[in-house]
Structure 1
C-alpha cells in the first residue's frame, strides 16, 4: 500500500519589486513638470460673465480715492489736429493734473495741464505761466472729464456691447483675460470729441485675475476721412487721494 509523500514543494521566493532608479536629471525633470502643472492649475483666470467682470473692474476704479490715468496713440493721421497722449492722475470730483501732447499743424506740442472746477489750464514751452483754454477749440478732451467716474472713461467698461471673452494670456507674472466688444460712436465722442458719433468702435479690455483693468485699446474712426486710429488707455486705482488746485496766477497781473 502506497501512501502520498508529505514532502512540501518549495516555491521560489517572490521577486523584490523595486522602483526604477531615477537619475538626477529625471528627478529634476519630474519636479519641473510638477511645478508647471501647479502653476497652470493655480493661474486659471477668473471665471464669470464678461459683463459682470467689466462691471466689477469699473466699480473698483469708481470707488478708488484717485487714479493714475493715461491715454495715447503712437501717431495721428497726417494733417489732423488732435490728442496724441495724456498722462497723469485725477479723481472723480472731477480734477486732473498731468502732461499732454497735442498735434497741430504737423507739430507736436507738449504741455503741462491742470483741469478742475470745469476749467482747463495748460502751460507749454512757449509760456512760463498756465493759460486757460477751451479744449473744444483744439479738438481735445477735457482731462477732468476723462476721469469723472461714471461719465468718464469708466463708462466705456459699462457701455461696451457684443462682449466676448478670449483665452487667458500671460504678461510676466500676471495672467490676463482679454474681453473684446463694440462701442457706439456717441459714447466715445463724449470723451474724445473728434470721434465719429455715428461710427462703431472696437474695444479690447485686459483684466487680471482680480478683475482689475490692466489696459484697454479702442480702435475706430476718430478723425473724419482718415484711417482708423487706436488709442490705448491705462487706469490704475490709487490708495490715497490727490490734491489738485488751479494754478497760481502772476500777482503782477
Structure 2
C-alpha cells in the first residue's frame, strides 16, 4: 500500500511539472515578444486608467505638465489635466469624438484645442492606432533590464529607442530625433509604466514624461458635457 501511495505522489509531481512547463514564462520570452504581448493586452483592455506627468518643463514653455484619468479605445477620456502656460491651468477634461472639452474657471465647459498648449488629445493616447500601444512595436534596440518586486507584482524593465516619427503620432509637437524609452511590464506582460525622454517640444531642452497605467480599471461613462 505504501509503495502505491508513493507511486501516485511521484506521478502527480511529474504531471504537475509537465503542465507547468507547457506555457512560456516571461523569462522564456524575448523583449520583442514581451512587448508584442503587452501591446495585445493593452489593445484588449476595456477601460484604462493612467497618470502622465512631466518631471519638469523648461521655464517659459507652454506644454503639458500632467494628466490623469480613465479612457477607452474609442478613443475617449475623462479626467484632469494641468498645463504650463502664461497662467498655469488645472482643469477637469473630457475628450470624446475627436473634441476636447475643459471646464474652465468662470466659463464652465468649453471646447479646447490642446495643440495650443503643445499637448496631445489625451484620448488619442489610448487609440489602438497611433496611441501608446503603437509605440511598443516601433521601439528598437530593446534591452531587458532588472526585475524587482513591488507588493505582489514582479516588474521588469525593458529599455529601447523610439524614432521621433513614431512619437509624433502620439505627441504631435515632438521632434524627429530619437527618444529613449523605458517600459515596465508585469509578469503577465501587462504594461505598467512608460518613461520617455526626448525632444517633445521644438526649440526646447529634452523633457521626460512618465506614464503609469492600469489596464484593468473600473468602467466609467464618458459623454460630451455640452
Which bin holds the TM-score, normalised by the shorter protein? 0.7 to 0.9
Measured in 2, the distance between the counterparts of 1:153 and 1:123 equals 25
CA change 1:114–1:70 in 2 (3 A) is: same
Measured in 1, the distance between the counterparts of 2:219 and 2:55 equals 30
- Is 1:218 equivalent to 2:199 in the alignment? no
Cα offset for 1:65? 1.2
- Please tell me whether the aligned partners of residues 82 and 194 of structure 1 are also in contact (alpha carbons under 8 angstroms): no
Cα offset for 1:239? 5.8
- Please tell me whether the aligned partners of residues 45 and 175 of structure 1 are also in contact (alpha carbons under 8 angstroms): no
Measured in 2, the distance between the counterparts of 1:194 and 1:114 equals 21
Alignment gaps of 5+ in structure 1: 1-43, 249-253
Secondary structure of 2:88's aligned partner: strand
CA deviations on 1:135-185 (whole Å, 9 max, x unpaired) are 222211111111112321111112111111112223344322110000011
- Please tell me whether the aligned partners of residues 185 and 195 of structure 1 are also in contact (alpha carbons under 8 angstroms): yes
Cα offset for 1:234? 1.6
Alignment gaps of 5+ in structure 2: 1-24
Name the one with the larger helix percent.
2
Query: Aligned to 1:206, which of 161, 178, 184?
Result: 184
- Is 1:171 equivalent to 2:179 in the alignment? no
Cα offset for 1:205? 0.6
Query: Aligned to 1:94, which of 59, 69, 75?
Result: 75
What value does the CA root-mean-square deviation take over the aligned residues? 1.7
TM-score by length of 2: 0.83
- Please tell me whether the aligned partners of residues 91 and 242 of structure 1 are also in contact (alpha carbons under 8 angstroms): no
Cα offset for 1:214? 1.5
Query: Aligned to 2:159, which of 174, 180, 183?
Result: 180
Query: Aligned to 2:53, which of 72, 82, 88?
Result: 72
Out of 216-225 and 95-104, give the one that drifted further.
216-225
Tell me what 1:149 maps to: 128
TM-score by length of 1: 0.75
Cα offset for 1:192? 1.6
Measured in 2, the distance between the counterparts of 1:127 and 1:180 equals 45
Tell me what 1:48 maps to: 29
